[in-house]
Chains A and B, each alone.
Chain A
Amino acid sequence: MSTNGTPTSNGKYALDLQDVHCYYGSFRAVKGVNLKLQEKKITAFIGPSGCGKSTVLRSLNRMNDLIPGGRVEGRILFRGKNLYDPDVDPVEVRRRIGMVFQKPNPFPKSIYDNIAWGAKINGFKGNMKELVEQSLRSAALWEEVKDKLDQSGLGLSGGQQQRLCIARAIATQPEIILMDEPCSALDPIATLKIEDLMRELVKNYTIVIVTHNMQQAARASDYTAYYLMDKSDRAGELVEYGETDQLFTNPKDKRTEDYITGRFG
Chain B
Amino acid sequence: MSQETQPSDIGQYPEGDNLKHFIENRKRGGLVWRVSFQIATILAILALIALLYNIINGAFGYVAIQNKVDPNSLVLAMEENQMLSSSGTVSSEDDNELVDGIEGNPNAIGFFGYAYYNDNRDKLKAISVDGQAPSRETAESGDYPLARPLFIYSAADVMRENPAIGAFVDYYLTNVNSVIEEVGYFPISDDLLNEATTAWSAAAGEQADALQAYTANPAEVSDHDISISGSSTVYPLTRQLAIQFRRAGFQGGLDLQQTGTTAGFRAFCEDMTTGISNASRPINRAEIEACESNKRTPVEFRVGTDALAVVVSSENTFLENVTKDELRQIFTSAETWSEVNPDWPNEPIERFIPGADSGTLDFFAETVFDRQLEALTEPELIEILKANLSTGLLRRFDAEAPLVERSQPELVDLVLERVVEQQVVQSWELTESIFDRAEIEETVAAIPQGELQWRSWLTPAFLVTPQSSTPELAGIRTALFGTLWVIAITILVALPVGVGAAIYLEEYAIMVANPTLRRINAIIQTNINNLAGVPSIIYGILGLAIFVRAIEPITSGMLFGVSDPTTANGRTIISASLTLALLILPLIIINAQEAIRAVPNSLRQAGMGLGATRWQTIWSHVLPSAIPGILTGNILAMSRAIGETAPLVVIGASTFITVDPTGPFSKFTVLPIQIYQWTSRPQAEFRNIAAAAIIVLLILLLTLNASAVLLRNRYSRRLS
Contact = CB atoms under 8 A, between A and B. Distances in A.
Interface of A: 61, 63, 66, 68-69, 91-96, 98-99, 101, 103, 105-108, 117-118, 121-122, 152, 154, 165, 168-169, 172
What are the nearest 6 A-B pairs in CB distance?
A95-B611, A118-B610, A105-B602, A99-B609, A94-B611, A108-B719
A88 to B, nearest CB: 13
Interface stretch (B43-51, B617-625, B644-652): B617-625
B602 A121 contact: no
B353 to A, nearest CB: 85
A262 B687 CA distance: 84
Given A61-B609, A101-B609, A108-B621, 5 more contacts: A91-B611, A99-B609, A118-B610, A121-B613, A122-B611
Nearest to B611: A95
Given A68-B510, A108-B625, A118 B612 contact: yes
B468 interface: no
A6 B511 CA distance: 36
Contacts of B620: 107, 117, 121
Nearest to B603: A105
B720 A168 contact: no
A168 B603 CA distance: 13
Interface string B587-630: 00000000000001011111111111100100011001100000
Nearest to B718: A108
B624 A172 contact: no
Between A69, A91, A96, A122, the greatest number of chain B beta carbons within 10 A of the residue's beta carbon is seen for A91
Contacts of A108: 603, 621, 624-625, 719-720
28 contacts: A63-B608, A66-B511, A66-B604, A68-B510, A68-B511, A92-B611, A93-B611, A94-B610, A95-B611, A96-B611, A98-B609, A98-B610, A99-B609, A101-B605, A105-B600, A105-B602, A105-B603, A107-B607, A108-B719, A108-B720, A121-B613, A121-B616, A121-B620, A122-B611, A168-B606, A169-B609, A169-B610, A172-B611
Contacts of B600: 105
Contacts of B624: 108
A102 to B, nearest CB: 9
Contacts of A107: 603, 606-607, 620-621
Contacts of A95: 610-611
B513 interface: yes
B252 to A, nearest CB: 103
A169 B616 CA distance: 17
Given A95-B611, A108-B625, A152-B720, A101 B513 contact: no
B607 to A, nearest CB: 8
Contact of B610 (A66, A103, A154, A172): A172
A118 B616 CA distance: 10
A131 to B, nearest CB: 13
A121 B513 CA distance: 27
Contacts of A168: 606, 610
Given A68-B511, A91-B613, A117-B620, A105 B606 contact: yes
A160 to B, nearest CB: 16
Q: Is the interface of B mostly helix, strand, loop or mixed?
A: helix
Contacts of A105: 600, 602-603, 605-606
Contacts of B608: 63, 66, 94
A69 B720 CA distance: 33
Interface string B503-534: 00000001101000000000000000000000
Nearest to A117: B620
Contacts of A117: 610, 620
Interface of B: 510-511, 513, 600, 602-613, 616, 620-621, 624-625, 719-720
Nearest to A122: B611
A91 B605 contact: no
Between B607, B608, B616, B720, the greatest number of chain A beta carbons within 10 A of the residue's beta carbon is seen for B608
B609 A94 contact: yes
A66 B613 CA distance: 11
Contacts of A99: 605, 609
Contacts of A68: 510-511, 513
Contacts of B719: 108
Contacts of B720: 108, 152, 154
Nearest to B613: A91
A92 B621 CA distance: 20
Given A69-B513, A121-B616, A165 B611 contact: no
Contacts of B609: 61, 63, 94, 98-99, 101, 169
A101 B606 contact: yes
Contacts of B603: 105, 107-108
Contacts of A118: 610-612
Between B606, B616, B620, B720, the greatest number of chain A beta carbons within 10 A of the residue's beta carbon is seen for B606
Nearest to B510: A68
Contacts of B625: 108
Contact of B611 (A66, A101, A121): A121
A13 B510 CA distance: 36
Contacts of B604: 66
B386 to A, nearest CB: 70
Nearest to A108: B719
Nearest to B518: A68
A178 to B, nearest CB: 9
A165 B606 contact: yes
A66 B605 contact: yes
A81 B601 CA distance: 30
Nearest to B624: A108
Contacts of A169: 609-610
Nearest to B621: A107
Nearest to B719: A108
A165 B604 CA distance: 14
Nearest to B620: A117
A98 B602 CA distance: 15
A168 B612 CA distance: 13
A47 to B, nearest CB: 22
A121 B606 contact: no
Contact of A63 (B513, B602, B605): B605
B143 to A, nearest CB: 83
A68 B616 CA distance: 19
A94 B603 CA distance: 15
Contacts of A69: 513
A91 B616 CA distance: 11
Contacts of A172: 610-611
A101 B603 CA distance: 10
Between B605, B607, B611, the greatest number of chain A beta carbons within 10 A of the residue's beta carbon is seen for B611
